[in-house]
Amino acid sequence: MSNRFSSAWLIACGLLMAHGAAAAVGPVSSSGIPAQGQAGRRSEPAGGPGLGGELQEIVVTATQRVEPVQRVPFQVTAMTAHELTRIDAHNLGDFAAYVPGLITNSGAAPGLIVIRGVTMGTGGQLSSAIGLYLDGIPLGTSTSFGLGYQSFNVNTFDLDRVEVLNGPQGTLYGADSLGGAVKYETSPPDPHALHVVAETELSYTEHGGTNYGLRGMVNLPFGGGLGALRIDGIDNYDSGYMRDPVYHRDNQGATRNEGARVQLLLAPMSQLHIRLGVFFQRDPSVGLATDFRNFVTHRPTIGTYDQAYPLEQPAVSSLTLYSAEINWRLPWLTVTSITGDQADHGFSLSDESLVYDALLAGFGAGHDPFQLPVDTNTHRITQEVRLVSHQEGPVRWIVGGYFDHEITNEIVDLYDRANPGGTFFGLVPFNADLPSSYREVAGYADTTISLTRGLSLGVGVRYSAQHQSYQETTFGLFATGSNAVYDSPVAVTNQNVTTYSINPKYQLSRNVMLYARAASGFRPGGPNFVLVSGLHNPSFAPDTLWNYELGEKSSLFDHRAQLNFDVYDIEWRHIQLVVNNGGVNQLENGHSARVQGAEMSFRARVTPRLTLDGSATYTHAWLTAPAPVLKIDYSGARLPMSPRFNFALLGTYHFSLSPRHPTALTVSDTWMGERTEGFGTSASARYSLPSFNTVDIYWSLTLSHALSADLYLKNVFDAAGQIDATTLANEYDPSAPTPVLISQPRTVGILLRASF
């Protein structure tokens, strides 16, 4: 029996068993699952409070206003704290499959995020194509220096919700939001209630080992509604599940996730709220969650979950963020100021033996172990001020200004660890110190005008000016031909971009909205890394795109069901392509690409006890012109990391073991379609990633008023899904093994939660 049929049978049988159990122990209490008081996570059953009423109304800030997600005139998915809890989601990789249009190769560590197929793949992208935000503050770096494509993976504990905005958000969110944006919204301090939450989690992963998690939250009100202090702490460990039988290492890919968050809310008057915050998260890891596959047959060269790297590969990423948000409600508008001061750090020791052994095979390198240390530090200060009119009236508007200043220092080395001092033919292979800075000043305006009783028109514009400076100090055999130091002059670029949005919507009835959207986005250009041997391309321009979208959002059956559907057409121009020039990677602007697709999501209260959620996505992404810099001489080449079809289905059934012990059984099935990595040319080897599906089971049980337990079995059928591949070595040696990122194997675990 195939996994697809096994999944369907499992969902059906699981829900029937739950129904039988419910009939045996008696009816569900009218209140459903009582409040468990977990930090920032709504404790009502899936779909809303109670078990017989309407679906829960979810509010978001996607348009920089607080409004129901069903009234936002473009595709937005809100994963509330409750939704994250019922699938035991701790990071982006845990919930991405449930969001239409969202793809990621990240787990607990930073990785690539893709929305609506806007990507050139892991090996073809240096800057991010999505905007990433924590409480309104953009995270990471806006440039290719500092590995901007590796989006920091915020832990979801004590979040109120995660919002995923599909399509470019260039007017309200600015740079890098080509494909869309991901917004993490934390649970704010509560000035009205003392609240304490403690979680402990223990699980076991097949082919790996034991994992654990410790998390806690304390909310301390000051009294009189004048403010509160909220403190969070996390410490999670994932054992990893890869083995290196050649070099005798186990638990490769192991990660730890540790951090804290402190928020202070001051409310000296009802119209003025001030929130100050400190956020810290550090994610060290050991090794990669990749096995080695034959490039042609895709079969494991050693064994599933087996690899062979000569060198250990430790890495660490961290984020420290200081924030201040001021909201001052005046008689006819609200003034909001958001300030962020962050320090991003990333360090890795990667084993590049496969690549350099293939590249230098004709120069006597043999099978030397090559190590690439990369150390990146970015200090970023952002300031945004916006004026927002109140919701009342025929005209609503937003006017804002934005300032961003980033200083990044990236140090990149290359060593041949087979020789003393890491030398190659007596010389250091490569060493580079790459300081850079980025400054952006932007202004934007957005207005929505009510034209008739049900028809309104939204129009937005943003002007952004960017200034970048860059310098490099290099030496080594591959840089200068010797150990002589080369210090380049400062390279400077000044660029500006204007983005627009036009967004009509028609409220066909109280429960049905139709909308259209034309919106643009951009990603900053900038200076390039160059070698002494030649400048090649000293700079590259911004890439831009336009997204054209039609959609509907509807509530059905007395608000017991929701159905959202959209189709879109994206025109992407001046694409930033990673090109190897003279032995180094540079960014060049290519011609154009197109992405066409459709997205659907639904939620339904099928019975008072049963709620179903689902989504489906179709994506067709291709180059509309030849790309000579990639040695692609034809139109129609498929973009990497773009599955044609994705599906997700989630069912939750509520019943009671006794009147005081309500429980819920959740079964999910997600299916990832076939994708490619690379283009299949002499400049970019293509590896086809087959489709796979994953089935999970979750059981939530209320033990007492203050204590609950969640049991789960993830990846029931132990599918070894191939998520991503690294094909750089195969460009030079097709016989080289291909490192392939493999999904988490079968995992069983329990989470205990106490709330006071």
pLDDT (tens digit, 9 = 90+) per residue, 625-639? 998 888 888 889 999
Under DSSP, is residue 188 helix (H, G, I), strand (E, B) or coil?
A: coil
Tell the burial category of 659 from Cβ atoms under 10 Å away from its Cβ (0-12, 13-18, 19+).
exposed
Amino acid at 260: A
pLDDT at 711: 97
Radius of gyration of the chain (CA): 26
Confidence of residue 14 (pLDDT cuts 50, 70, 90): very low
Q: Residue 131: is its pLDDT beyond 50?
A: yes
Helices in 328-400 by DSSP H: which ranges?
353-359
CA 28-31-34 angle, 5° bins: 100
Q: Which residues contact 331 (CB under 8 A, 6 or more apart)?
A: none
pLDDT at 681: 66
> Which whole number is the average pLDDT over 101-121?
85
Q: Which of 32-46, 580-594, 726-740 has the lowest mean pLDDT?
A: 32-46
Backbone angles phi, psi at 96, to 5 degrees: -60, -35
Check: pTM over 0.75? Answer yes or no. yes
Cα dihedral 18→21→25→29 (10° resolution): 10
Partnered with residue 153 across adjacent β-strands are none
Q: Across all residues in the chain, what is the average pLDDT?
A: 88
Confidence of residue 533 (pLDDT cuts 50, 70, 90): low
* Two tokens, residue 368: 């030397």
Write down the domain spans for the chain.
3-755
> Which whole number is the average pLDDT over 637-661?
92
pLDDT (tens digit, 9 = 90+) per residue, 407-432? 999 999 999 999 999 998 889 999 99
Specify whether domain 3-755 bears CATH 3.40.640.10: no
